Structure 1
Amino acid sequence: MFNQEETSSFDFWDTVQTGEEHFSSSAEAKVKEKVKLGDNVYDLEIVYDSSEKQIYSLLYRNHHLVSSQYVAVLSSEKDFGLNYQLQQNLKREEENLIASWNLREKINLSGTASEHNCLGLFFLDKGLDHEAAEQFEHALKKSPPLSDTYKNLSLVYLRKGVPHKALELLEAGVRLNPGFADLRNSLGWVYLECQKRKEAIEQFNMALELNRNYAEVFLNLTLWYLQESANHPENSQALTQAIKYLKKALTLDPEFILPKDKISEWEEVSKLYLILKNRVAQKDTSHIKATCELYLLRFFYDQANLTQKSWQYFLMELREKIESGYDFPDLRNYLGLGYWYYTSFFLEKSRSILKSDRFGKKLKNLATLNLEVIESLKKQLEKIQSRWER
Structure 2
Amino acid sequence: MKDKLQQAIALMQNSKLDKAAALFAEIIEEHPNDPVGYTNFGNLLLHMQDAERAQRFFEKAIELDPYAATAHYGLGNLYYEQSLYAKAQKHLQTAIEYGLMEADTYYLLGMTLQHQKYHKLALPYLLRAVELNPDDEEFLFQYGLSLAQCEHLKEAEEIFYKVLQKNDNHSDAYYNLGVIALYDEQPEKALEHFEEALRIQPDHVLAANGRKRVTAYLHERQ
So what's the TM-score if we normalise by structure 1?
Answer: 0.35
State how far apart, in whole Å, the 1-side matches of 2:188 and 2:93 are.
Answer: 43
User: Higher helix fraction: Structure 1 or Structure 2?
Assistant: 2
Aligned to 1:157: 113
Amino acid at match of 1:215: S
Seen in structure 2, the aligned counterparts of structure 1 residues 244 and 126 have a Cα distance that, compared at 3 Å, is same
Within the alignment, does 1:145 sit opposite 2:102 as a pair? yes
Indicate the structure whose relative CO is greater, using CA pairs within 8 Å and at least 6 residues apart. Answer: 1
- Residue 195 of structure 1: SS of its match in structure 2? coil
Q: How big is each residue's C-alpha offset from its partner over 1:119-178, in whole Å with a ceiling of 9 and x where there is no partner?
A: 4333123332233124433554554333x4323211222344533221111122222222
1:237-276 pair list within 5 angstroms = 238-253=186-201, 266=214
Of 55, 58, 76, the residue aligned with 1:101 is 55
Aligned to 2:183: 227
Larger Rg: 1
- Residue 184 of structure 2: SS of its match in structure 1? helix
Aligned to 2:137: 181
State how far apart, in whole Å, the 2-side matches of 1:267 and 1:118 are.
Answer: 47
Of 153, 156, 167, the residue aligned with 1:200 is 156
TM-aligned CA deviation for residue 116 of structure 1: 5.3
RMSD of Structure 2 on Structure 1 (CA)? 3.3
Q: 5+ unaligned residues in a row in structure 1: which ranges? A: 1-95, 230-237, 257-262, 270-390
- Residue 92 of structure 2: SS of its match in structure 1? helix
So what's the TM-score if we normalise by structure 2?
Answer: 0.58
Q: Is the 8 A contact 2:58 2:74 kept in 1?
A: no
TM-aligned CA deviation for residue 100 of structure 1: 4.7
Seen in structure 2, the aligned counterparts of structure 1 residues 254 and 219 have a Cα distance that, compared at 3 Å, is closer
Seen in structure 2, the aligned counterparts of structure 1 residues 254 and 195 have a Cα distance that, compared at 3 Å, is closer
Seen in structure 2, the aligned counterparts of structure 1 residues 201 and 112 have a Cα distance that, compared at 3 Å, is same
User: Higher strand fraction: Structure 1 or Structure 2?
Assistant: 1
Q: 5+ unaligned residues in a row in structure 2: which ranges? A: 1-49, 205-210, 218-222
- Residue 99 of structure 1: SS of its match in structure 2? helix
Aligned to 2:172: 216
Aligned to 1:285: none
Q: Is the 8 A contact 2:191 2:215 kept in 1?
A: no
Aligned to 2:19: none
State how far apart, in whole Å, the 1-side matches of 2:74 and 2:167 are.
Answer: 25
State how far apart, in whole Å, the 2-side matches of 1:178 and 1:221 are.
Answer: 20
